[in-house]
Amino acid sequence: MRSARIDVLTAATPSAMALNLSRVCSLLSLLTASACVSAAATEPTTPLSEGNATVSPYRNAAFIVDISTTKRAVKVAAPSGGIAGGSLPQRVFGGDVSVQPSLLGGDAVEMMASNYSAGVIGASAPGKILVTFDLTLVNRLRGLRLVTPTFPLPPNNVTGIQAFPIEVVALTTAGGATVTGGAITVTSPRSGTAVPSADWDGAPHSFFNDVGCGGLSNDCFRYEPFGTLDASSASPARRVGFLVDPTVGDLRVRIIVAADLQSTTR
């Protein structure tokens, strides 16, 4: 149950109103385990944490994608930081000054999301909802083509830009109730898990280590190849997705975009 509206017949006095609210809250706590709040509260739920996300040393170089299953919307934000050197490193790789390795940030790439879609429970996996959307990358650089990355190591025989989610976290909310006039609005608690779906076309690959994707690996990620992207051009839209518990309301995903920068002017 995502939310419920309960109309309460109230008496003329504030004390009678408080008594009715107390009784309703007691009933709701038994039915939904929601915490009741006063009529002065403005937010029925507040994010508590991002859960136990695996912290990656590269997480600040990742694009932040916020997915709301309640609002049916996807919002993208550029990386908050990056690896030393940023998206435009000065060092020369392999003696070729025309190619530079890179984890790309907002100065080099714009990421856009569109066409959000959510299936029905169990249609794609038992007890899960498949949430999908399209990603488009725009090369914001002039005179530089985005090509197959040298770091992180790409999958065998896969070329061009690689995008992969290094963190997928379901945001946790406590749930609660608010009072407006003579009505109480109850919001259920939110929690659960989500994992990348097979809509990410690449099978799990170990991008940062060379041990492969065994049982002890902690850096194997599904990925989406975007091909080579010329200067000041946009990629075709690529569909990606996640299998989500029906109790999840919001997801925060961190996506790495990796490519080398190749000069087109030499």
- 85-99, 194-208, 244-258: least confidently modelled range: 85-99
Say what the pLDDT of residue 78 is.
95
Annotate 123-186 with DSSP letters as a single string: SSSTT-EEEEEEEEEEE--SSEEEE--SSSPPPTT--BEEEEEEEEEEPEE--EEEEETTEEEE
Cα–Cα separations (whole angstroms), residue 208 to 38, 68, 94, 156, 213: 49, 29, 19, 14, 11
Q: Are 183 and 7 in contact (CB under 8 A)?
A: yes
Q: What are phi and psi of 62, to 5 degrees?
A: -100, 145
Say what the pLDDT of residue 215 is.
72
Contacts of 247 (CB under 8 A, 6+ apart): 188, 189, 190, 191, 192
Rounded Cα gap, residues 116 and 173, in angstroms: 22
Rounded Cα gap, residues 155 and 8, in angstroms: 60
User: At 185, is the pLDDT very low, low, confident or very high (cuts 50, 70, 90)?
Assistant: low
pLDDT digits (tens, 9 = 90+) for 98-154: 555 678 999 999 999 999 999 999 999 999 999 999 999 999 999 999 999 988 888
Half-sphere exposure of 46 (CA within 13 A, CB side): 7
User: What is the amino acid identity at position 240?
Assistant: V
pLDDT digits (tens, 9 = 90+) for 12-53: 333 333 334 344 344 334 333 333 333 332 222 333 334 334
Among candidate residues 264, 248, 206, 224, the one with its CA nearest the CA of residue 113:
224
Q: Is the pTM of this model over 0.85?
A: no
Q: Are 260 and 163 in contact (CB under 8 A)?
A: no
Say what the pLDDT of residue 92 is.
32
